Structure 1
Amino acid sequence: MSRSVEPRAPHRVAVLVRPGVLPMELGLVHQIFRGARTPGGAPLYEVTSFALEPGPVATDADFSVHVERGPDVLDEAETVVVPASHPLDETDDVLSPALRDALARIRPGTRIASVCTGAFVLAAAGLLDGRRATTHWHSAERFRRSFPAVEVDPHVLYTDNGEVLTSAGEAAGIDLCLHLIRRDHGAAVANEVARGMVVPPHREGGQAQYLQLPVPEPGARDSTARAREWALRHLHRPLSVAELAEREAMSVRTFTRRFRQEVGTSPLRWLTQQRVERARQLLERTELPVDRVAEAVGFTSAVSLRQHLAATLGVSPSTYRQTFGGDRHTIPT
């Protein structure tokens, strides 16, 4: 069964280029969004870089980039991305008049996202007041002191407040862009982009796994990877932390502590995340009834699946399927 989809204009993404921009962050935004396409190969996003003043802009490397467009790009942008710029971000707590005027051109309802310390720009603009945000863990304390009205979470890879999003270090920008594609067009499209870039479509955990940790006791096994791999093969059945700990021959307490260190979240929360992700894939790619989807991913009932999907995505399983279900095939009951 296939569902016809009316063609639509690509979503317009504007990327701010400031002096000291990190080339990797600038490039990854273009590469990821430009990789998202319809089954027929049509681009789903149109990405345009802009500078406060068009022309050559120095990067934090030994070369400059030439940016042809100015802030007028913001007049039609539907998503704005602010990559990091060193050393501007952590030395300027107040926006320059030119940057303030440029951001004022953003239309109401436009999404704005930051990569790494680009969050300093969003905070200085007042867009993060009263909201949860993240930035590179190394800059988190400086960010907290500069913007006490922002709820800083240095442990996650990205935060999503609807129209305002933030991400951690450079590579977390990949996670954020894939998240936006997944939010706009579903897991299948985001997974295809990730496959083309040879990166995980959804990285486990958060920045906690990259912080410097105490050296483990000599001879101690410090990985929970085998238990996670086993759990992914058995999501359809009830799973307990004790059962996962047993797979690694650890006590529940030790397993839980090391799991948090490696993944950045608790085992039970991670299991829920994996079940929701698997449910999304089944809703997109199959015609399984909702109760069968719930059973296949280990939720106790269709009601439980609806609750978790609503908490994570804000929609019901049927709404998600109607939005993102493309070509599907029926799995025999």
Structure 2
Amino acid sequence: MTKFATLPEKHPLACAIAYDGLCTFEFGIAVELFALPRPELEHWYQFATVKAEPGPVRAVGGITLDAEDDLDLLQKASLIIVPGWRGADTPVPEELCAALRAAYARGARVASICSGVFVLAAAGLLNGKGATTHWRYTDKLADMYPEIDVDPDVLFVEGDRVYTSAGSAAGLDLGLHIIRQDFGAQVAASVARRLVLPAQRDGGQRQFVPRPEPKARVGSGLAALQDRIRGAIDEEWPIERMASAAATSGRTLARRFHEEVGTTPLNWLKTERVSRAAELLENGTIPLSDVWEACGFGSAETFRREFRKTMGIPPVRYRERLGVPSTV
């Protein structure tokens, strides 16, 4: 029998790619999920680290890593995991791309964590498919590979045996999803408990994206208006009041918002209300039931709807996720 038997149903072979500049956290996720022995389970993965280039590889953090197996092993893999790549603009070696294409053509599943998506994109495995990556790289991925349908909000995307995850920790969500597919929900829940994680997380990565700074020019009339509204965010701000405060007409105000901020005044206001609500939820100094009024939403129902629409998660779950008690 060869070192890795072909038993895709009971003991699928999972291979993690290692390369110079290896992202150690993402690689560690693959090891923790698929390599850690789990004697309590009757069936589990075989695991191997596969070098994408000869010799020991240097990993982030001053670590040097060597492995017995090279890219040839991918022809036996059921699952291939690509950790974060060493740079979105760094070319991916054709030898690695060809090995991934051949393994995929044979029937292997291929998964990327964070910026590892650029390896799959370079290999052509995402053409015509959906994908995601860390929110810092979604625009870059879409610009470089317009044939990919990039979703910036979700934690992971699956399509036709190709999986991509958002930022680093979302690799855990993706890995649990794959385990759930291979061995069922009960096993995935057991692995999640061992990791001290929920078996499935709510929402997407929108909740982790830094809230943008205002784009209006400092010192302009529009910036002054924005500051005034932020200082009275709990009050009603119809378009007529905004225009009056800016000493202009509603039409001119709308045009200036479009030119300087890239959205309408009312959409900007909704985003500011949600941003303020998120700050209050993070701070935890006022009850959840008072947040909507302090941010000028008009009703608790409107607050919950707009917060979830923007952040991808209900306000109560947002506060719980931060470890802040959900006071009434």
In the alignment, which residue of structure 2 is the partner of 1:200?
Answer: 198
Is 1:132–2:139 an aligned residue pair? Answer: no
**Matched-pair contact (CA < 8 Å) for 1:36–1:181:** no
Is 1:102–2:103 an aligned residue pair? Answer: no
State the aligned residue count. 237
Other structure's SS at 2:20 match: coil
How many Å separate the matches in 1 of 2:90 and 2:79?
Answer: 26
**Matched-pair contact (CA < 8 Å) for 2:79–2:110:** yes
In the alignment, which residue of structure 2 is the partner of 1:252?
Answer: 301
How many Å separate the matches in 2 of 1:118 and 1:159?
Answer: 13
Deviates more, 1:214-223 or 1:177-186: 214-223
In the alignment, which residue of structure 2 is the partner of 1:46?
Answer: 46
In the alignment, which residue of structure 2 is the partner of 1:29?
Answer: 30
Matching residue's letter, 1:101: A
**Aligned-pair distance for 1:108?**
2.1
**Aligned-pair distance for 1:221?**
4.9
Is 1:13–2:14 an aligned residue pair? Answer: yes
In the alignment, which residue of structure 1 is the partner of 2:209?
Answer: 211
How many Å separate the matches in 1 of 2:130 and 2:33?
Answer: 25
Other structure's SS at 1:196 match: helix
Other structure's SS at 2:48 match: strand
In the alignment, which residue of structure 1 is the partner of 2:76?
Answer: 76
Cα distance per residue 1:13-42 (max 9 Å; x no partner): 11111111111111111111235857x533
The percent identity for this pair of structures is: 35
In the alignment, which residue of structure 2 is the partner of 1:174?
Answer: 172
Cα distance per residue 1:255-293 (max 9 Å; x no partner): 11112344x2689xx9xxxxxxxxxxxxxxxxxxxxxxx
Matching residue's letter, 1:174: L
**Matched-pair contact (CA < 8 Å) for 1:22–1:59:** yes
- CA pair 221-141 structure 1, distance change in 2 beyond 3 A: closer
**Aligned-pair distance for 1:100?**
2.8
How many Å separate the matches in 2 of 1:254 and 1:110?
Answer: 45
How many Å separate the matches in 1 of 2:34 and 2:298?
Answer: 43
Structure 1: state its 5+ residue gaps. 1-6, 226-244, 271-333
TM-score (norm 2): 0.65
- CA pair 61-85 structure 1, distance change in 2 beyond 3 A: farther
Matching residue's letter, 2:194: G
How many Å separate the matches in 2 of 1:63 and 1:178?
Answer: 27
How many Å separate the matches in 2 of 1:101 and 1:12?
Answer: 19
**Matched-pair contact (CA < 8 Å) for 2:97–2:122:** no
How many Å separate the matches in 1 of 2:127 and 2:314?
Answer: 28
**Aligned-pair distance for 1:224?**
8.3
Matching residue's letter, 1:91: T
How many Å separate the matches in 1 of 2:111 and 2:101?
Answer: 15
How many Å separate the matches in 2 of 1:221 and 1:211?
Answer: 15
Matching residue's letter, 2:308: F
Matching residue's letter, 1:258: F
TM-score (norm 1): 0.64
How many Å separate the matches in 1 of 2:158 and 2:65?
Answer: 30
Matching residue's letter, 2:109: R
**Aligned-pair distance for 1:185?**
1.6
Structure 2: state its 5+ residue gaps. 1-7, 214-229, 235-272, 283-291, 318-328
Matching residue's letter, 1:26: F
Cα distance per residue 1:154-204 (max 9 Å; x no partner): 111100103011001110100000000111122111111011011121111
**Matched-pair contact (CA < 8 Å) for 2:19–2:53:** no
In the alignment, which residue of structure 1 is the partner of 2:89?
Answer: 90
The higher radius of gyration belongs to 2
How many Å separate the matches in 1 of 2:72 and 2:118?
Answer: 22
Other structure's SS at 1:173 match: helix
**Aligned-pair distance for 1:47?**
1.3
